[in-house]
Structures are given as C-alpha cells and as structure tokens.
Amino acid sequence: MKGISILGATGSIGLSTLSVLEQHPGKFQLIALTADKNVEKLHELCLTWHPKYAVMADKKSADKLRDLLSNYDTDIEVLGGQDGLVTVASLPETDYVMAAIVGAAGLIPTLAAARAGKRVLLANKESLVMSGQLFMDAIHENGAELLPIDSEHNAIFQCMPTNLDKNLNNMGITKILITASGGPFRCTPIQELSAVTPEQACNHPNWDMGKKISVDSATMMNKGLEIIEACWLFNAEPEQIQVVIHPQSVIHSMVEYEDGSILAQLGNPDMRTPIAHALAWPERIPSGVRSLDLFDIARLDFEEADLQRFPCLNLAADAMRAGGTSTTILNAANEVAVFQFLQGSIKFTDISRIVEMTLTHIQPAIADSIECVLDADMSARRHSEQLARELAA
C-alpha cells in the first residue's frame, strides 16, 4: 500500500484524485487531506475518508475543523498553517504527494515533498514556474520522482521514451507540440474582450476546473505557464515547443521525432486519466474515465495561436528566455491580476497589461535561493497590486 497525501484536496484536482482512489481500495492509504479555508468540505471529506491528518492552511479554519471533528469518534490529527502542509508532505508514511494547491501557495509544501524524496504528482505548475531550477535540483538531489499531472505534460511524458534522457536530441526528439483548446474566447471579436465577465471567462468549453486556471485558460496564460513548465520538466528551450490550438481537447499533446513520427496521447478531457497514470506509473490502472468514441468525435481541428489575441503566450516565453526570477515575477503579477479580475476590479484585458508592466518595472535576479524567489514574488505582487488599483480608479 502506498501512503498518499493530497495537498489541495477540496479543489478540482484534489476531488478527481479522490475519485480515482475510491476505485482502488487496498492499493493506497490516505495519509493526509489539506485545504485552505473550506472547513465544511474538508470536514465532509474527513468523515468519508478518515485520513491520519487533516491540514487547514488557514489556522483559524484548523481550529474550527478540530472543534467539528471533536464531536465524532475519530483520531484524525488536525494541523494548521504552512508548517502543517510541509509536515504532511514530508512524513515517512507519505510515499506519494499530490501537489494540487493553486498558485504560489503551493510552492513551499511541494518543494518539501521533493526534498523529502517523495513521488511528486505535480498539478501545481506554479511551483515550477516560480522556481524551476531549484525545484528540479531538489527532485534530483533527493531521489524524488516527478510525475506531471497537467494533462499536456502527462501526455508528453507518455509520448517520450521510457528511459528519459536529459537531452531531447539524444532521444531523437525534434519538437514538443503542446495543444491548447483556445479557451472560451478563441473566436470572440478582439474588441469585445475588454468587456467579458469573470463568469464568461470561467466557462471553459471542455474542462471543468478551478477559477484561477479557468481564467488563465481564457487569457492563454495557462499555456504560457505550461511552456515554462515543459521547459523545466523536459529540459527543452522555448523554441522547441510549439503551441497548437486544438479546440476539441482530445489530443492532449504530441512529441515529434527526427524520423518524421509524431506520437500523440488522446483521451476524453478528464483529469482522472493523468492522475491514474501518475499514481500507477509505470503500470496502468482504471481511472473511471469513459472510453473515447472516435466516431462520435469524427474530426480533429488544428490552428495556429493568435498572438495578438493572446499576448500572455509571448510574455511567458520571453520570461523563460530572460531566466532568473523573470518567471517568478510573471507568475506573481498574473495571480494578482487574475484575482482582481475575478473580484470585478479590473478588465479582462488588464491582466496581460499588468503582467507586462510588472515585468518591465521589476528587475529579475538570479534565482539561486528560495528566499530570492520569494522576494521577487513579493515585489511583483506589490507592484501589480498598485497597478491594479490605478487601473480600477
């Protein structure tokens, strides 16, 4: 039995992970479930799943959960704060860590899992975007395993040789083709984008996800973050990665080889497939995802990405090329801008403006320590919050 801790258990990926685990009793032991402030949901999950630990990142919420659970005959230990997240990510009985916290808040606990040599199931792409080199070093230096959950990266991983080489050329790989649905605004007239609402932005055509990543999909910053994520995971340069708009979201990504072969991974758009893949790797287990009906799909379309419509794509690739804390700054500015957009304070089109202006204003540094990464994150947040206030006024 493998012990698993789920960071971000109440979210979209967390719940999909539980849905896969439910189908495999006896294979995995649930060590910990964590959430931020959603006491009610974590309480409900605790009563169903009986983990050894439950962690609320928000300490007051941890007190509330402890109170609620005291009414039941259970020995679940409730922890609070970031220390609690780090503890459950590093426990000896935790073999696998599902890193499914959204945003920069996921960095420290995910890094703790890497440092403790766990199998890290990485959904929290932001931690790689913020601190790619440090994170990859932590994985390699501590004998941890890194399995991508992001559907595109999981697909790329599946299309690569089993004995991964650090060099794409040595594997005969010429290109990584990362697919993107184009989100809800792929065909919206560009001049209408400044007036779109958070509800419209969160209404993704194919995937049912948390709010932050849904907005990122609408701006295509999600694909930008994924280019950076792929560069770190597969030791690629941004030039080796091509974005392919594929509105059906059936091909989750592809790898091109020097003999002209392109390998693709296909499936219904349901995150339980990559989750089951990463849980069982190198074996396979059922995920609960229904079989793909090719006759029902009938056709697959491909388009080039419109860089004028989606300026975030180039902002992300440029930040990756600039290196150091540039991608940390990009990520922080984007998180602030997306939050302000969801609050109704700024326009959809202000998101890329804020990211661009923050990247221009803040000088990147060498990302050689986690303190340096957190400093860059903090300065970028301060600057973009100021910009958001000015744009809202």
Binding footprint of Mg ion on the chain (CB under 5 A): 150-152
For 101, list phi and psi in degrees, rounded to 5.
-80, 145
Residue nearest to ligand NAD (CB): 11
Whether the CA torsion 248, 252, 257, 259 is positive or negative: it is negative
Q: Is 332 one of the binding residues for ligand NAD (CB under 6 A)?
A: no
Of the ranges 120-128, 130-138, 366-374, 376-384, which one interacts with ligand NAD (CB under 6 A)?
120-128
Q: Return the range that interacts with ligand NAD (CB under 6 A); candidates 9-17, 69-77, 86-94, 350-358.
A: 9-17
Q: Give the whole-angstrom CA distance, residue 283 versus residue 2.
A: 14
Stretch that binds ligand NAD, among 175-183, 204-212, 238-246, 287-295 (CB under 6 A): 204-212
Stretch that binds ligand NAD, among 174-182, 205-213, 257-265, 343-351 (CB under 6 A): 205-213
Return the one option of ligand NAD, Mg ion, none that residue 126 interacts with (CB less than 5 to 8 A, by type).
ligand NAD
Q: Are strands 241-245 and 173-180 parallel, antiparallel or unpaired?
A: parallel
With CB under 6 A as the contact rule, the residue among 3, 4, 5, 14 that binds ligand NAD is: 14
- Residue 22 or 368 with smaller CB distance to ligand NAD: 22
Does the footprint of ligand NAD cover residue 123 (CB under 6 A)? yes
Task: Write down the residue that tokens 């990009």 correspond to.
Answer: 330
Find the binding residues for ligand NAD in span 147-176 (CB under 6 A).
150
Contact 354, 381 (CB under 8 A): no
Q: Which is nearer to Mg ion, 152 or 335 (CB)?
A: 152
Residue 223 contact among Mg ion, ligand NAD, none, beta carbon within 5 to 8 Å by kind: none
Order of strands across the sheet that contains 173-180: 241-245, 173-180, 251-257, 262-266
Q: Are strands 53-56 and 2-7 parallel, antiparallel or unpaired?
A: unpaired
Q: Number of residues interacting with ligand NAD: please give it, by CB under 6 A.
A: 26
Q: Any contact of residue 111 with ligand NAD (CB under 6 A)? A: no
Residues contacting 337, CB < 8 A, separation 6+: 346, 350, 351, 354, 355, 384, 388
Q: From residue 367, give the alpha-carbon distance in Å to each of 118, 161, 317.
A: 23, 31, 17
DSSP element (H, E) containing 176: strand 173-180
- Is residue 270 a contact point for ligand NAD (CB under 6 A)? no
* Segment (H or E) for 178: strand 173-180
What stretches of 52-142 adopt beta strand conformation (E)? 53-56, 77-80, 96-99, 119-122
Q: Helix, strand, or coil here: 196?
A: coil
Interactions with ligand NAD, residue window 29-68 (CB under 6 A): 35-36, 38, 57
Q: Choose from Mg ion, ligand NAD, none: what does 224 bind? Cβ within 5-8 Å by kind.
A: none
- Residue 10 touches which of Mg ion, ligand NAD, none (Cβ within 5-8 Å per kind): ligand NAD
Q: Which spans of this chain sit near ligand NAD (rule: CB under 6 A)?
A: 8-14, 35-36, 38, 57, 100-102, 105, 123-126, 150, 207, 209-210, 212-213, 271
